[in-house]
Amino acid sequence: MVKKVFVLLIVVFCVVITGSWALAATCPDVKGDWVMASHWVYYNESTDSFGYMDMDIILHITNQNGCLFYGNGEIPSDPDSGCPLTGVVGSNNTITITSCDTIINGTLTGLSKKIYGTIDGTCSNLDVKGDDTFFGTCYAIGTRQ
């Protein structure tokens, strides 16, 4: 529980700091549905094993105020996976998204007609439930639908 609270405090601190930098800039519109193809390496404490997996993630960004935004994330293969998300667009088109236990840090690319169409980034996950810990990191590419 202490680990989860500590991770949450770090995430909030990073979002607040990045958000304060972003407020001074004009930010691109990121509203819409984004499909992220992610490639994970993970460790599962309950089975004491490492592994690799590929997973699609859909980000539904429904509201944006300046550089700050929110919405919902889901894993299409898991109907119970819906989770709120928050995020910020920072300087040089960097983007940070938090959803459940996952943090995505990336860069907006694929500019066409003043609209960005791609997020290229990395993600990390720390899922602590009772005595079980699952954590991993990923490389992800997302496209606006």
CA distance 16 to 114: 27
CATH of the domain at 131: 2.40.128
Q: SS3 for 20?
A: helix
Share of the chain above pLDDT 70, in %: 77
pTM here is 0.74
CA distance 138 to 145: 21
Q: Are 106 and 37 in contact (CB under 8 A)?
A: no
Range of the domain at 6: 2-144
CA distance to 46, 56, 92, 119, per residue, from 96 (Å): 29, 18, 12, 10
Report pLDDT digits (tens) over 16-69. Answer: 455 554 445 589 999 999 999 889 898 888 889 999 989 898 999 999 999 999
